[in-house]
Amino acid sequence: MAPQISPSILSADFARLADEVARVADSADWVHVDVMDNHFVPNLTLGLPVVQALLDHSALPLDCHLMIEDPDRWAPQYAEAGAKSVTIHAEAAKAPIRTLRAIRAAGARAGLGINPATPVDGFEDILGEIDMLLLMTVEPGFGGQRFLDVVLPKIRRARELIKGRDLPVWLQVDGGVSAETIERCAEAGADVFVAGSAVYGADDPAEAVRRLRALAEEATAKADW
């Protein structure tokens, strides 16, 4: 699959979310929405009512990243509301397979996210239950953190596992993804790139998305996976 770019509105102006999404509508593939509950992560952002409001104003599909406790209870509602991709965290889900199936049944792509210190190997057998594997490349909770190079071997291993199973699972990276780091991620096997501060911290967010895409495409063309 060609690389996809999913700008995170965590670094956008929260008082003008619809306008901020519109700035990348022609250049991005998705809008990444970080839902944080101040329990799973030490930060509080937004929830279902804001996502519902945004759905009415976004020309791009929403990629909802739930950094919350009890995703089993909440995740299906994001899919039912109309989010096209809903990602839950493996560290928080008590019944991940049931919840991933409920997300799919509601018509969305089902994502499973893992934190930097969570090994990917234990998830090999459930790859068939997911549409996207999200590898956090920072500890979740805040934008603008430094990319953790230590996750690169895990990106490689995840790509090998997906290839080995011959499944159409997308591999997303989130955290510290920028013009400086995106090529390393693509080379290692990622194909969906979340970027918050690298897009919304730029003077021209659309141009930043195009630049990231070009770098990812070039690195993917040279990659051996």
* Active-site residue set: 34, 174
Instruction: For residue 4, state whether it binds ligand DX5 (rule: CB under 6 A).
Output: no
Instruction: For residue 115, state whether it binds ligand DX5 (rule: CB under 6 A).
Output: no
Instruction: For residue 62, state whether it binds ligand DX5 (rule: CB under 6 A).
Output: no
20 binds, among ligand DX5, Zn ion, none (CB under 5 to 8 A by kind): none
Q: Which of 194, 197, 185, 193 is nearest to 225 (CA)?
A: 185
**Span 121-150, contacts to ligand DX5 by CB under 6 A:** 138, 140-145
Q: If phi over 0 gives left and psi between -120 and 50 gives alpha, with beta otherwise, what is residue 132? A: beta
Dump the DSSP string for 68-99.
-S-HHHHHHHHHHHT-SEEEEETTT-SSHHHH
Q: Which is nearer to ligand DX5, 8 or 220 (CB)?
A: 8
Residue 59: other Cβ atoms inside 10 A: 12
Instruction: For residue 174, state whether it binds Zn ion (rule: CB under 5 A).
Output: yes
Q: Which is nearer to ligand DX5, 61 or 175 (CB)?
A: 175
Min CB(33)–ligand DX5 separation in Å: 9
58 binds, among ligand DX5, Zn ion, none (CB under 5 to 8 A by kind): none
Q: Which of 3, 44, 1, 2 is nearest to 195 (CA)?
A: 3
Q: Which is nearer to ligand DX5, 46 or 167 (CB)?
A: 46
Instruction: For residue 8, state whether it binds ligand DX5 (rule: CB under 6 A).
Output: yes
How far apart (Å, rounded) are the C-alpha atoms in residues 103 and 96? 10
Q: Which of 151, 140, 208 is nearest to 180 (CA)?
A: 208
Which residues sit at the interface with ligand DX5, rule CB under 6 A? Answer: 8, 10-11, 32, 34, 65, 138, 140-145, 174-177, 194-198
